[in-house]
Amino acid sequence: MDRQATTERTPAPNSGLAKVAVQCSADTFVVNQSLVLRINICDKNRHLRQAAKRYRQAIWKYKTKYVSLRKKYVS
């Protein structure tokens, strides 16, 4: 393996925040004669991951390239 290839690597640009927040309330005990129910109320996992805003960048690059090519052919 070439040493330059390993030292010139850059991390992927799609890194996001991979944290998850879980909201759970306290357990609730319900007693019904001889039956004891334990109810745990939890909300869904909220993902705090933020996606990179690459879509607009790609469109902006495409539009500017298209406009510059169009000017070249129109003139």
CB 20 within 8 A of CB 43: no
| Alpha helices in 1-75, H assignment, sequence order | 3-7, 55-74
What's the CA angle centered on 53, arms 50 and 54, to 5 degrees? 135
pLDDT truncated to tens, each residue of the chain (75 aa)? 555 555 666 656 555 555 555 555 555 555 665 565 566 555 555 555 666 665 555 555 556 565 565 666 555
pLDDT of residue 62: 59
Domain boundaries, the chain: 19-74
pLDDT of residue 2: 54
